[in-house]
Amino acid sequence: MSDQQPYPGTSGEHDPSGSGPQPYPQQPYQQPYPQQGYPQQPYPQQGYPQQGYPQQGYPQQYPVGYAARPPMNPADERTWGCAAHWSALVGAVVAMAFVGPLVVMLAKGNESAYVRRQAVESLNFQLSILIYAIVSFVLAFVLIGFLLLPVVGILWLVCTVLGTVRSSNGVEYRYPLTIRMVS
């Protein structure tokens, strides 16, 4: 008889008089927790502003990523615009010339329209040259690619250096023969 399960709503304890299982004792009615998840604290914690009201004596806190940034000064714009072009030369050492302009665009493109335009222009040119080089390599099997590969290489080097110099002077540079994939 000890291996029997008690009925739902009963404690399973037996009365010595043999009257059977006794129901759980009645608990006083309690308010359930709020439905938002965690129980609400009756008073706000010290040092933290209440929602919607700034606390006196504490600086206003902004969520991460929403703080107002000062505009980029022209010298920094020229430096980062120039970096969008010369980083392609550095990236070419490992045959990934498009990575440098992409990093500049992602890192500083939201801070300055000039830097973004220069990074996008350089990125588009580097991707276009990559496509031209692949096509020239494939055409090397029909012998015309042997003429095109050096032409593509010289075009890349001359245009990238020109873009670097013009951008360092603050002049917008547009690459020739560029497929505009990124805007």
Is residue 87 assigned to a domain?
yes
Is residue 62 assigned to a domain?
no
Mean pLDDT of 4-29: 55
- Report the distance separating Cα 19 and Cα 4, nearest Å: 16
- Report the distance separating Cα 122 and Cα 100, nearest Å: 9
- How many independent structural domains does the chain possess? 1
Is residue 60 assigned to a domain?
no
Is residue 48 assigned to a domain?
no
- Report the distance separating Cα 104 and Cα 107, nearest Å: 5
Mean pLDDT of 159-182: 94
Query: Are 108 and 115 within 8 A, CB to CB?
Result: yes
Q: Using the predicted structure, report yes or no on whether residue 183 has a pLDDT greater than 80.
A: yes
Range of the domain at 118: 78-168
Query: Are 120 and 106 within 8 A, CB to CB?
Result: no
The neighbour count for residue 91, using CB atoms within 10 Å, is 18
pTM: 0.62
Q: State pLDDT tens for residues 92-117.
A: 988 899 999 999 999 999 999 999 99
Is residue 23 assigned to a domain?
no
